[in-house]
Structure 1
Amino acid sequence: MGNQTDDDDDKKDGRVWRTVPGMKGVVYREHPTRRHGKKLDRFLALRYRRGGGQRTIETLGWTSEGWTTRVAASLLAKLKENIRTGTGPQTMKDMRAQGEADRQKAARMARRAALKEITFGELATLYKAWAAGNRVSGPHVAQLLDMHILPELGALRADAITPQHIEDMRQKVAAKRPLRGRGKNNPDARLAPQTVMHVLKTVREVYNYALETPAPNNPGVMLFEGPNPGVIRRRGRGVRPPKHDSRRLRVLNDEEIGALLDYSGTHDIEVATLLEMILLSLDTGPRAGELVALQRQAVDPVKGTLRILFGSRSERSTKGGRTRVVPVGLLFPQALDMLRQRLSQPSDNPYLFPGRYGVGMRDPNGLNRAMRRITNALGLNADAHDPRNRVVWHTLRHTYATRMLEAGADIYTLRDLMGHDSVTTTEGYLHLCDRSKRERALARITLAKGHAGITAGEQQ
């Protein structure tokens, strides 16, 4: 072993460590048979004193694995310097941990750099897949992306898109002609401002999704990092929403409701079902998509309640994200009789109002087409020049909300019955209801509560 002496040997743990000549603290032990080049393979380690004088031996590895005495000496010098100054890793274990952390940090930075190249189209593809399984409006989101957004923004890098890009897209979308509906044959018609707003919101949602979603196989690294260029601002810089009041103004009066419920058409069975759906909508106020998704098991004929949940084939709930229980028969007592009669008839279809020929779930868009035929036949929209004044299927929901308010319903109770996220949305119906009817109803409720309090006091 050349210039080694017995003082260089360390038999700790039954192993013999020998000091490399001229490199105090760099020790090794030899493999009994395996060779590396002309010499026996050596396993290198470091021997030094840690803070407090504690003697330590930390292993490195075999020379056949690439370890050299020069590298070992450099590591030992670094550890001793860190111990002297009290900074940095002071053991090989700490140094390895720091090295691994540095490697992970470098890998994250490399992944972030790679994500800098991701396009808006790639983000939109991931968002569409997520929305298809998690959002009621998934198909509509995909349609907006494919028809209006991706042709303008899809090829651009996601981090290169500015509010001005989105504003330019908004102007192009707003100038498009509708492909269907009442304006498709009108050369001067343009997409509804509400449609343009949905397009802008979808861009914003793609970015929000990317900001909150880790990149595939890259935990801790989000798909997108940075400000959301799709934020819609009413004032200041950013994407401006289209200025338009799209709230529908029409609610049905008693005469119009009577005309709807007395309507008779050529397809007796289908018309009868539609009239039952109209009656239930007037009495409980579900959205069209919620109505067609109602299952027979959602009705409690004894308690007279309806559990509104979106889609029996999915865990997705209503648009507001919550299942809600609505009483039946408060506004139209015959609605509860109708439900009980319908449930008394056996059916193999789980839906309360099955699709065509009793198969599957009914298409919610078919309700709008049916309402258009009925209103045309009854002339309910003859004088409705403003689209907001036209009777559509959603008018039934508006009528329900206003009649509940006129009957004295509390605004917070109505919010829950309507399935709104915010009471602000529900308050929008206050401008449609008859204030005098509401005030009289609230007065009757207050008077009834007062009488109940007096009676309770007298009994005590």
Structure 2
Amino acid sequence: MKQEILLQYKQKLIQRRYSVNTQKTYLSLFKKFLHRFNDKAINDISKAEIEGYIYSLIRTENISFSTQNQIINAIKFYYERVLNRERLTYWIERPKKEFKLPTVISEQSILRMLTSTNNIKHRCIIALLYSSGIRRSELLNLKKGDIDYERMMITIRGGKGNRDRVSLLSQTFMQSLIEYLQIYNPKYWFFESPTKKKYSSTSVLNIVKKAARKAGLAQKVTPHTLRHSFATHLLEHGTDIRYVQDLLGHSSIKTTQIYTHISDTSLRKIISPLDRVMSLNLNDVKPLEKVIY
């Protein structure tokens, strides 16, 4: 019975064109939910029991806000999409969204990462992640024909939300990409494993982390850090936020606006009050008047 439910669940995810990553995440979370109520029919599970399940995960596993939301969405998907129940008949309290600033590294740090990477394939991976702002999954899904060397554009197909978009191709790194293709001669995917299969997500992460370590960076650097840095650096150099939104593939401008909080263009114009204090001439400072109590 449980296997039949999971099969229905997966088929509905595919029908609704959810991305492969989302399918894996939802299925994993929903399997865990089914296992928790293994001795009970899923249609008999009450709202209170589901809330108790989520609260127990918060207490025992200290799940994050985003994970809690994913669990809620995975459960709601079954009741609302697979069983076609009304959305308002099933409701779980959601957490307040955390406001965390993304990690960004400087342009100098990007250069140090690139120059400290000798392997041309690894260097091209880092360069593409930063120069186009694409996600790791989008990089792995790139095909040879997705890069237009004449128009200097990269086509990202089936990005987040199954939306296609275009992004920038770096002029200074184009020759390195061509050289990489000549050396590795990938068959289908732009980046492939030695067996000519799609390159692994873990390999990309390890390449970025190793480059950051060799460059002597103290921050924790991931492929998404390069995406954050791409957006922030564009804004710092005066690129209109609407263009940055399109390049990142954000459906809402509010998502892109988070980068305005970490752009240091405006901060550079603000002088620390301590700098003002330390610039004062002590001879010009009036002595304190004595106060008689």
The TM-score range, normalised by the shorter chain, is 0.7 to 0.9
Q: Map of 1:426-437 to 2, 5 A cutoff?
A: 426-436=256-266
Distance 1:259 1:358 in 2: 31
Specify whether residues 419 and 154 from structure 1 end up closer, same or farther in structure 2 by C-alpha distance, changes over 3 A only.
Answer: farther
User: How far is the alpha carbon of 1:163 from its aligned partner?
Assistant: 3.5
For 2:47 and 2:94, the matched residues in 1 are separated by 9
How many Å apart are 1:258 and its aligned residue?
A: 2.1
Q: Which amino acid aligns with 2:238?
A: G
- TM normalised by structure 1 equals 0.52
Matching of residue 255 in structure 1 with residue 108 in structure 2: yes
Of 190, 193, 197, which aligns to 1:360?
A: 197
Partner of 1:334: helix, strand, or coil? Answer: coil
User: Are 1:323 and 2:164 matched, yes or no?
Assistant: yes
After superposition, the Cα gap between the structure-2 partners of 1:153 and 1:345, relative to the gap in structure 1 and judged at 3 Å, is: same
Q: 2:58 aligns with which of 174, 186, 191?
A: 174
Call closer, same or farther: CA 1:260–1:402 in 2, change over 3 Å. Answer: same
The structure with the largest alpha-carbon Rg is 1
Structure 1 or 2: larger helix share? 2
Matches within 5 A, 1:296-335: 296-309=144-157, 317-329=158-170, 333-335=171-173
Deviations 1:112-137 (A, max 9, x none): xxxxxxx9985554122332563222
Corresponding position of 1:245: 98
Task: List aligned pairs for 1:7-406, cutoff 5 A.
Answer: 123-132=5-14, 134-136=17-19, 137=21, 138-146=23-31, 148-153=32-37, 156-177=40-61, 190-210=62-82, 223-227=83-87, 231=91, 238-241=92-95, 243=96, 245=98, 247-264=100-117, 271-309=119-157, 317-329=158-170, 333-343=171-181, 347-355=185-193, 357=194, 359-381=196-218, 390-406=220-236
More RCO (CA 8 Å, sep 6+):
2
Of Structure 1 and Structure 2, the greater strand share is in: 1
Q: Once the two structures are superposed, what CA deviation does each residue of 1:220-242 show, in whole Å capped at 9, x if it has no partner?
A: xxx343455654xxxxxx4232x
| Cα distance in 2 for residues equivalent to 1:259 and 1:239 | 46
Q: 1:351 to 1:438 in 2, by over 3 A?
A: farther
Cα deviation, residue 261, structure 1: 0.9
> What letter matches 1:239 in structure 2?
E
Distance, in Å, in 2 between the alignment partners of 1:281 and 1:367 is 10
SS in 2 for 1:307: strand
State, as a whole percentage, how many aligned pairs show the same letter: 23
TM-fit CA distance, 1:392: 1.6
Contact kept, 8 Å, 2:155 with 2:167, in 1: the verdict is: yes
Runs of 4+ in 1 over 6 A off after TM superposition: none
TM-score (norm 2): 0.78
**In structure 1, what is the equivalent of residue 276 of structure 2?**
none
